[in-house]
Structure 1
Amino acid sequence: MSAETIDSWRVTLPCTRAEAEAIDAADDLTIDAVLMTTEEVEDDREHWRLDAYCEHEPDAAMIAALVALVPSAAGAKPVIEPLTAQDWVTMSQAGLEPIREGRFVVHTSAHPIAPLEGGRAFLIDAGQAFGTGHHATTAGCLAMLDGLADKTFDNVIDLGTGTGLLAFAAQHLWPAAAITATDIDPAAIVVTEQNAAANGVSGLRLVVADGALSDVIATHAPYDLVIANILAGPLISMAPEVAAIAEPGAAIVLAGLLETQRAEVVAAFEACGCVLEAVDRRGDWTILRLRGGEVRYVPTKPIDPKGRDGWALDL
C-alpha cells in the first residue's frame, strides 16, 4: 500500500445471480456499506460478485453480515482491500461502457460513441478526480439536469465539480448562462480544464474553493441553479452557505448521499428555507432536487466547516 490516505475499504465475495437480485431488490438492509453486484460471466447465473464499500475497516461482524447475504460464499475467503482516492478513480472509470442519461452520452476513449440526434457526448477518461457519469450519483445528476431543460437558468454553479462533467452538461443545456465550477482539490480543477479542452467546452469560471466559502463565489452570487454532487456529511455542513448563495426559488441539485442519509440532508436544507421537490433513488444512492426559499437565506451564525473531511471525493 502506498503512502496515500486510505479513504475506504472494499470487501468482495462471490455470489449467484439469485443472491445478487435479492440484494438489489432489498430495501431494508442494515449493513453500513454500499453494496454493488456485478455479473462476472455473461449469462452465467452462478458467477456473480458482491462488492461492499465501507468507510472503516470491516470487522468480523461486518464480514458475517455480508456472508449471510450470499450463502453460496460460505466457504469462500472474502477479499478485503483498503482503497485510496486514486483506487476509486481507477476502478470506477477504467474500461466502462458508455452510458446514456436523457440527451447525454458519457464515454471513455476506449468506448467512443455518438450521441442521439440533438444530444451531446462527453469524453471523460480516468484521471485524478471523480465524476465520470458511470456512478449512480453522477448519472442521476445528469438525469436531473436533463429534466430541467425546459427551464431557463442564467447563473449556474457546480460545487465539487470533480471532472467537470456536470458543469459541461449545464453549459450544453443553458449555453447563455454563466457557469462556475469549483472544487476544494486543485487537481480536480486541472482535470476539469483538460476535460473541457478535450470536449470543446470553453468559458467556464473555474475556482478552487472550500465549499461556497470563496470571495469569487460570493461576488457572482446569487445562483439560480446550484449543483453539489459531494457526500452527505459535507452537504449537511454546507447547507447554510449553499442556501445563502442561492437565488430565491433557485433549483438545487444534491447528490453523493445514501438513501439512509436522505432525511438528515433534507432536514439541513429545509432548516435554511429550502423545499424538497424531487427524488431520484438509484440503488443505495439518492439524488435530490430542492427549491430555494422565497427570500434569500441569510445564515444566522458563522459557517461551521466541521464535517467536510473528504468532500472532494466527488462521485
Structure 2
Amino acid sequence: MTDSWKLTLPCTRAEAEAIDAAEMTIDAVLMTTEEIEDDREHWRLDAYFEAEPGAETVAAIRALVPSATGADVVVERLGDADWVTMSQAGLEPLHVGRFYVHTGEAVAPEGTRAFHIAASRAFGTGHHETTSGCLAMLDGLSDARFAHVIDIGTGTGLLAFAAAHLWPEAAVMATDIDPVSIEVTRENAALNAVPGIDLVVADGTLDDAIVARAPYDLVIANILAGPLVSMAPEIASIADTGATIVLAGLLETQREAVVAAYAACGCAIEAVDRRGDWSVLRLRAGDVRFVADGPFDPKGRDGWALDI
C-alpha cells in the first residue's frame, strides 16, 4: 500500500453543502466537517488523495471554497494508510426506513436491507440530506408498484439499489454524465449483490438507450437545482402519464423555481421532505404525456452549478 495524502482548508457551511451535493471530477475523497456546532462560518474541508496533490489539483480544491482565499493550505502525508478508510473515519451508519447504509464493517438491524457504500470518487454515501431524503421518499412509496425506473445522476448507485430492492420486478436504469460514477456504481452493485441494473453514461436523458426504455413510471434525479430546472422538459418527456418523479439536490430557497419548471411541463407537486436547508420533492406527471416543442440542446444547460 502506498502513502496517502490529505489536504485541509477552512470553509463555510454553504460551501460544504455545495461540495457534498455536487458531482465532482477531482480524483479524491472530499469530506466536510462542522468545527463549531451551529456555526455556519467554521467548517473544514479535508481532501484525501492516493498521491501527493499537484499545483493544479490544489488550485481546483481551493476553487471549491472561495471563503478560504488567503488561507494556508495544509497538506500532509498520512503514511501507509488506506485513503478511503481514513476519509470515512467518523461516518456513522445511516438507518433510513428499511435501509441501512454503512461505509465499512457494520451489523445491520434485523429487517433492514444493508448497503455498503464506501466514500469514493462519486457522490452518494447516503449521509447528505439530499440522498437520505430520497431514501426516505422511496421508502414511503413501497406500497406503490413501478415497472420502469430510472435514476438520473446516480453517483454511487445507492438510490438505484434502493429502488431495485423495493421493486425487484422492475427494470431499473442508472445513469450519470460522469463515467467514473458509472464505474463506481458497477463496483457497488457487485459488492452489494444488486443484480440487473442497466448502467448508462449519459448527458441528462440524451442517450438512445434511455429514450428507447421510456416511458418510466418512476424517475429519480438527485442532482442540483440548475440542471433540474433546465432538464424539466427532458425529464417530463420520458415520464409516463401519472408517473412519480422524485427530485433532490435543491435548497429550500430554490424549491419554487424547480416546482414552477415542472408545472410548466404538466407535473404537480405531491410531497416535500425538508431536511435542514435542503428539500426533496415528489411530483406527479400529468394525465397526458408531455411532448417537447423541439429537440433538446445540452448547450442550454450552461450555469448548472449556479444558484437560481
Q: Tell me the TM-score normalized by structure 2.
A: 0.74
What residue is the counterpart of 1:206 in the other structure?
199
Q: Are 2:160 and 2:172, in contact at CA under 8 Å, matched by a contact in 1?
A: yes
Question: Do 1:237 and 1:308's aligned partners in 2 also have CA atoms closer than 8 Å?
Answer: no
d(CA) in 1 for partners of 2:38 and 2:110?
39
Superposed displacement of residue 117, structure 1: 2.7
Query: Given that residues 92 and 134 in structure 1 are in contact (C-alpha distance below 8 angstroms), is that contact kept between their aligned partners in structure 2?
Result: no
| Residue 91 of structure 1: how far off its partner (Å) | 11
For the structure 1 residues 147 and 220, does the alpha-carbon distance in structure 2 shift closer, same or farther, using more than 3 Å as the test?
Answer: same
Per-residue CA deviation, residues 258-297 of structure 1 (Å, 9 max, x unaligned), is 1111111111111000000010111111110000111110
CA separation in 1, counterparts of 2:107 and 2:124? 20
Distance 1:91 1:293, change over 3 A: farther
Give the Å deviation of 1:219: 0.5
Q: Provide the C-alpha distance between the structure 2 equivalents of 1:168 and 1:57, rounded to a whole number of angstroms.
A: 32
> What CA distance in whole angstroms lies between the structure 2 residues aligned with 1:175 and 1:203?
10
1:296 pairs with 2:292: no
Structure 1 stretches of 5 or more lacking a match?
1-8, 14-22, 24-30, 64-76, 82-88
The match for 1:263 among 248, 253, 256 is 256
Aligned partner (choices 100, 104, 110) of residue 99 of structure 2: 104
Q: Within 2, Cα distance between the matches of 1:38 and 1:281?
A: 20
Alpha-carbon deviation of 1:118? 2.4
Residue matched to 1:50 = 42
Q: Secondary structure at the match of 2:121?
A: coil
Determine if contact 2:94/2:127 at 8 Å carries over to the other structure.
Answer: yes
How far, CA to CA, are the matches of 2:16 and 2:186 in structure 1?
33
2: distance between equivalents of 1:256 and 1:129? Answer: 15
Q: Does 1:185 align with 2:181?
A: no
1:193-240 CA-to-partner distances (Å, cap 9, x unmatched) read 000010011100111111011110010100000000001111111100
- Give secondary structure in 2 for the equivalent of 1:162: coil
Structure 2 spans left out of the alignment, 5+ residues = 1-7, 19-31, 46-61, 74-82
The residue aligned with 2:169 is: 176
Length-normalised TM-score, structure 1:
0.73
User: Which of 169, 187, 190 is 1:197 aligned to?
Assistant: 190
**Deviation sequence 1:5-57 (CA, Å, 0-9, x none):** xxxx97447xxxxxxxxx9xxxxxxx8985997366xxxx8999833899876
| Identity within the alignment, % | 57
**1:232-311 pair list within 5 angstroms:** 232-305=225-298, 306-307=300-301
Aligned partners of 1:170 and 1:179 also within 8 Å? yes
Question: How many residue pairs were aligned?
Answer: 259
Determine which of 224, 228, 232 is the counterpart of 1:231. 224
* Amino acid in structure 1 at the alignment position of 2:146: F
